[in-house]
């Protein structure tokens, strides 16, 4: 029973440690893309994601190395941990929605989507959205490490190289996301989302636990003896997706922050302009209007493929989730852009007719 209680509250304690580290460690202060409606100036953010990740993983590794907890503790307590994270996500969502003034929509809609657009706390030291993403990413990294450790402890020298590859690629995914967290300030998540259940529960529960579903499904299974070519192919699919996604996001970030700067020092931006607004229509943004979403889906596919278990249906939920998330998001972003950019967007659609997959869709 005490074990279940410890497992339940472990994510609460870990999220509290992440918050304290976020507050205590040095951070860069940067301008965001979103503007403060009261002043009209860009919102300011304190960012220190990579440091917080390194410190949290370091503390966890120290606790394991000193024998305070086994390396696979988060795996053996995963159900209790999931329940604890779920309760915390719900409590946070209620707190953040109920304490904000209503916007006139049905309560369930406001609870799901949130009421506040950009809440910041402690005199602006903590931005709710950026903290939620940091907390989710860091907890995900701990889960991935602990789930992989369980596999290693159980199978020793017969462990599956695919599990190690999956864990390594996932850590890459988390680390690079935090290294580029400033670019995240220019994405839909920060610009268009509000803080409610979707983001609160999503980052405290869904992100750190559902994203680990592949390892959750296979950590207790023996090595499937995947051929080397499959592992190489999986990593190639993952990195192809990463290059597309990160490349597109960076290209747009540079375009928004310094519109005339050449991307990667070679690609001069080609843009459609109407005097007021501008849309990139070269490079990644010239081959499909949301090729970055293709990149995300390819990364998820690579992560699942390398597990070498096509029959493990749970592991396929991960890439399927991206398809289910990003296809409707592309449609809603399309509507948002058509309304914002008007005739310029029509011209962009004419020049770049494909939505996500160049030449196909």
Torsion angle, alpha carbons of 23, 201, 333, 34, to 10: -20
User: Could you tell me which stretch among 4-12, 54-62, 197-205, 289-297 binds ligand NDP (CB under 6 A)?
Assistant: 289-297
Of 48, 56, 249, 304, which lies in the binding site for ligand NDP, with binding defined by CB under 6 A? 249
Which residues fall within 8 angstroms of residue 93, CB to CB, at 6 or more apart? Answer: 111, 196, 197, 200, 201
Within 13 Å of residue 329, how many CA atoms lie on the same side as its CB? Answer: 18
Assess 160 for contact with ligand NDP (CB under 6 A).
no
**b/e string for 125-156 if b means 16 or more Cβ within 10 A?**
ebbbbbbbbbbbbbbbbbbbbbbbbbbbeebe
- Cβ nearer to ligand NDP, comparing 182 with 329: 329
Assess 14 for contact with ligand NDP (CB under 6 A).
no
CA distances 336 to 192, 339, 352, Å, are: 10, 5, 17
Q: How far apart are CA 190 and CA 132, in angstroms?
A: 11
Assess 290 for contact with ligand NDP (CB under 6 A).
yes
Assess 234 for contact with ligand NDP (CB under 6 A).
no
Element (H, E) at 131: helix 128-155
Assess 309 for contact with ligand NDP (CB under 6 A).
no
Assess 175 for contact with ligand NDP (CB under 6 A).
no
CB of residue 127 vs ligand NDP: minimum separation in angstroms?
17
CB of residue 252 vs ligand NDP: minimum separation in angstroms?
5
- Cβ nearer to ligand NDP, comparing 127 with 296: 296
CB of residue 172 vs ligand NDP: minimum separation in angstroms?
13
**Residues at the interface with ligand NDP (CB under 6 A):** 187-188, 191, 245, 249, 252, 255, 279-280, 285, 290, 292-293, 296, 329, 333, 336-337, 340
């Amino acid at each position: 029973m005490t074990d279940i209680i410890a497992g339940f509250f472990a994510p609460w304690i870990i999220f509290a440690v992440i918050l304290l580290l976020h507050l205590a460690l040095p951070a860069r202060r940067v301008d965001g893309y979103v503007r403060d409606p009261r002043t009209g100036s860009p919102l300011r953010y304190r960012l220190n994601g990579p440091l917080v990740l390194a410190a949290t993983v370091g503390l966890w590794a120290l606790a394991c190395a000193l024998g305070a907890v086994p390396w696979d503790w988060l795996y053996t307590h995963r159900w209790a941990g999931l329940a604890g994270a779920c309760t915390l996500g719900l409590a946070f969502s209620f707190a953040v929605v109920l304490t904000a003034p209503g916007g006139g929509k049905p309560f369930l809609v406001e609870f799901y989507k949130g009421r506040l657009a950009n809440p910041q706390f402690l005199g602006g030291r903590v931005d709710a959205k950026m903290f939620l993403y940091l907390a989710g990413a860091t907890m995900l990294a701990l889960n991935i490490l602990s789930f992989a450790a369980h596999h290693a402890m159980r199978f020793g020298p017969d462990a599956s190289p695919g599990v190690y590859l999956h864990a390594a690629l996932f850590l890459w995914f988390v680390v690079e996301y935090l290294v580029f967290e400033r670019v995240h300030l220019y994405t839909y998540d920060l610009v268009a989302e509000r803080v409610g259940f979707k983001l609160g529960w999503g980052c405290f529960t869904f992100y750190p636990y559902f994203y680990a579903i592949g390892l959750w499904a296979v950590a207790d299974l023996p090595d499937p003896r995947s051929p080397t070519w499959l592992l190489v192919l999986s990593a190639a699919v993952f990195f192809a997706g990463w290059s597309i996604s990160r490349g597109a996001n960076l290209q747009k970030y540079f375009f928004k922050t310094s519109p005339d700067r050449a991307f990667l020092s070679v690609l001069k931006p080609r843009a459609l302009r109407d005097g007021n607004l501008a849309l990139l229509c070269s490079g990644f943004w010239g081959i499909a209007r949301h090729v970055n979403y293709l990149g995300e889906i390819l990364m998820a596919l690579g992560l699942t493929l390398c597990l070498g278990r096509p029959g493990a249906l749970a592991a396929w939920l991960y890439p399927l989730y991206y398809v289910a998330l990003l296809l409707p998001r592309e449609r809603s972003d399309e509507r948002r852009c058509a309304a914002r950019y008007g005739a310029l967007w029509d011209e962009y659609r004419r020049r770049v007719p494909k939505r996500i997959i160049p030449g196909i869709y």
